[in-house]
Each structure stands twice: as structure tokens, then as C-alpha cells.
């Protein structure tokens, strides 16, 4: 398979948001592109190899192996953000409404797209592991559980890579292994509840975005932060804001006003760009702005002995 972009596209910048750290067993970047282990909505596994020729207009070459390869081949351009449309954001009038530093950030990152994997169950379980803990803790849990219980992917995937767990595999993770993964009881219970509703989750994944935003919030343990973090990746949601994030509100408000603020204030300052708020937040993160460094840090907890 190969796809040639009509507008600038960066494979690494776009797909990087799916990687849970540099040691993610399910997605591995290398000098030539990336390897991606995919679990389709029907539970079939696939290994995907992606490479992009030099430059933002370079052709993307793709290979897929395994029982899920047919699904991947049918949906891959959408999954990797190739069809994500930034034309409204890049419109001259919209660009003129942005602060100069955000316009500069967009010019510096013209190939960024939002992914639309459609893999709602996988992202839900991944993001639940990130609830109210540090990135370090969440990435450790993800690595531990996949390495311990994940299946070897089909095809020529590099050593150590693993497929994401199926709903049935999540349901059979023993309680002591959650402790070893440093996952507290609340997060493990949510993952198990979601595993019981995997069929429902796969059904709602095909809803249009406005309806899906409502439906996903009805799932156990899915609040506004979790819903936003998931839909940004699974459905290229351009407007979902991660309300409830430990650092984001201060970062966004300070970038746009010069002073720190809470979630309510973040939504206020983003209100001129309703419809594109997530894209604005992504540009803030990619801009030259750096927030003030003070205040308490979130300390990792060790749940293995509990």
C-alpha cells in the first residue's frame, strides 16, 4: 500500500501521540518510520509497518500482516490521520484570530494531523491507566501488562512488541498482577467494567462525533478528561479539551493570558475557537511557549504491596 499526500503530512508527528513512551510494546518508532501492533474491533491482530519518503509531501508506504491485515488495509489512511482536514484551521481568517506564536507554531508543524484509529476499546483501556497518575506510572503499567499478557504480533514485528489485549484477556488479568503493574483498584475495576462492555463500545464507535461524545460519557469510569483524550486519538476530534488534566489548564491559560488559571478559565480563553479547540491546544504544546515551573508535583505511588 502507498499513499501520497496532497497537502503536507508528517507520519512521525501525527502518530507520535499514540505511543506510550519510547518503550511502548505496541508502537515503536525507528529511523525509517514505525511499527504498530493493532487489535481490530473484531479482536483480530495485525502488525503494521509504515515508512514515509523524505519530506512532508513524501509518499507513505505501508505493509500489514496477520488476521487483521484486511481491516487495516481498508481503514489505514483514515487511521493514521492521512484524511484529517485542517482547512478550517488554516483558513486565513481563522489564522488571523490566533496569537502570533500559534501561527508560527502551525507554520513550523504543517504536517501534523489528528489520528482517527477508530479503536475505541483499546484507547479507553489505555487512557484509563493514565487516570490521576504520572506519565511514568501509566507507561510502566501499560508496558508491564502488555509484556506479561499481550500476544506476540504476526509477521516480522521487532522482538519485544506485543498486541494490545482483547476484552477477554483484560478480564483474566489476576488481581496480584494489577498490583505488580502499580495499578490501583479503581483503575483496574474500570478496565474490567469496560471489558464487559466491549461489544457496546464497538457499536458506539461508528456513531457520528457529536453523538459519540455523549455516548462515551455514559460508560463506566469515563469522565470529561478520559473522553477527550480518547476521542482526540480515535476520532480526530478537533474540539475536545482535556478538562481535569493536572497541568493543562495552567499551561493553556498562561500561554494565552500570561497568568495561570483553572479549567473554567481555560475554557473561557479557548472559547473564540470553539470547534477547533483541541487543535489550538496542540499548537500551544508545539509552540515556543514554556510555562512557569512552580507548585507541587504529582508523586508516583507504589500499589504493588497493597
Query: What are the cell numbers at 47?
Result: 502488525
Residue scoring higher pLDDT (55 or 294)? 55
Rounded to whole angstroms, the Cα distance separating 158 from 37 reads: 10
Residue scoring higher pLDDT (302 or 57)? 57
Q: What is the mean pLDDT of residues 48-60?
A: 95
Helix (H, G, I), strand (E, B), or coil: what is residue 124?
Answer: helix
Q: What is the pLDDT of residues 229-279, one digit of tens each?
A: 999 999 999 999 999 998 999 999 999 999 999 999 999 999 999 999 999
pLDDT of amino acid 294: 59
Q: What is the pLDDT of residues 11-22, one digit of tens each?
A: 999 999 999 999
pLDDT of amino acid 304: 45
pLDDT of amino acid 272: 98
Q: What is the pLDDT of residues 107-155, one digit of tens each?
A: 999 999 999 999 999 999 999 999 999 999 999 999 999 999 999 999 9
pLDDT of amino acid 300: 53
CB 14 within 8 Å of CB 115: yes
pLDDT of amino acid 301: 53
pLDDT of amino acid 270: 98
Q: Which run of H or E residues covers position 39? A: strand 33-39
CB 265 within 8 Å of CB 253: yes
- Percent of the chain at pLDDT exceeding 70: 96
Rounded to whole angstroms, the Cα distance separating 167 from 181 reads: 18
Q: What is the pLDDT of residues 185-221, one digit of tens each?
A: 999 999 999 999 999 999 999 999 999 999 999 999 9
Q: Which residues contact 206 (CB under 8 A, 6 or more apart)?
A: 118
Q: What is the pLDDT of residues 276-306, one digit of tens each?
A: 999 999 999 999 998 887 555 555 555 444 4
Q: What is the pTM of this model?
A: 0.92
pLDDT of amino acid 303: 47
Q: What is the mean pLDDT of residues 50-68?
A: 96
CB 8 within 8 Å of CB 85: no
pLDDT of amino acid 292: 81
Residue 41 in this model has a pLDDT that exceeds 50: yes
CB 153 within 8 Å of CB 163: yes
Q: Which residues pair with 34 in a beta bridge?
A: 29, 50
Amino acid at each position: 500500500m502507498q499513499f501520497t499526500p496532497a497537502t503536507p503530512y508528517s507520519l512521525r508527528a501525527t502518530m507520535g501521540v499514540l505511543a506510550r513512551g519510547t518503550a511502548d510494546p505496541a508502537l515503536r518508532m525507528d529511523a525509517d518510520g514505525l511499527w504498530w501492533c493493532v487489535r481490530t474491533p473484531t479482536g483480530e491482530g495485525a502488525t503494521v509497518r509504515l515508512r514515509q519518503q523524505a519530506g512532508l509531501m513524501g509518499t507513505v508506504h505501508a505493509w500489514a500482516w496477520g488476521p487483521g491485515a484486511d481491516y487495516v488495509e481498508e481503514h489505514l489512511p483514515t487511521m493514521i490521520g492521512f484524511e484529517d482536514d485542517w482547512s478550517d484551521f488554516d483558513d486565513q481568517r481563522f489564522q488571523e484570530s490566533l496569537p502570533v506564536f500559534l501561527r508560527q507554531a502551525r507554520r513550523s508543524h504543517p504536517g501534523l494531523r489528528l489520528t482517527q484509529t477508530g479503536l475505541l476499546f483499546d484507547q479507553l483501556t489505555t487512557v484509563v491507566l493514565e487516570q490521576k497518575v504520572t506519565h511514568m506510572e501509566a507507561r510502566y503499567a501499560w508496558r508491564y501488562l502488555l509484556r506479561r499478557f499481550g500476544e506476540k504480533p504476526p509477521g516480522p514485528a521487532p522482538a519485544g512488541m506485543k498486541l494490545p489485549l482483547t476484552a477477554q484477556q483484560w478480564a483474566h488479568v489476576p488481581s496480584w498482577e494489577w498490583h505488580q503493574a502499580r495499578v490501583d483498584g479503581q483503575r483496574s475495576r474500570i478496565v474490567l467494567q469496560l471489558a464487559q462492555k466491549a461489544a457496546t463500545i464497538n457499536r458506539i464507535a461508528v456513531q457520528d462525533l457529536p453523538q459519540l461524545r455523549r455516548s462515551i460519557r455514559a460508560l463506566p469510569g469515563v469522565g470529561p478528561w478520559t473522553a477527550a483524550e480518547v476521542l482526540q486519538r480515535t476520532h480526530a476530534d478537533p474540539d475536545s479539551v482535556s478538562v481535569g488534566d493536572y497541568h493543562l489548564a495552567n499551561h493553556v491559560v498562561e500561554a494565552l493570558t500570561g497568568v495561570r488559571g483553572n479549567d473554567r478559565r481555560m475554557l473561557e480563553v479557548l472559547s473564540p475557537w470553539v470547534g477547533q479547540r483541541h487543535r489550538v491546544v496542540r499548537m500551544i504544546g508545539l509552540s515556543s511557549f514554556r510555562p512557569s515551573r512552580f507548585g507541587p508535583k504529582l508523586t508516583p505511588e507504589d500499589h504493588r504491596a497493597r
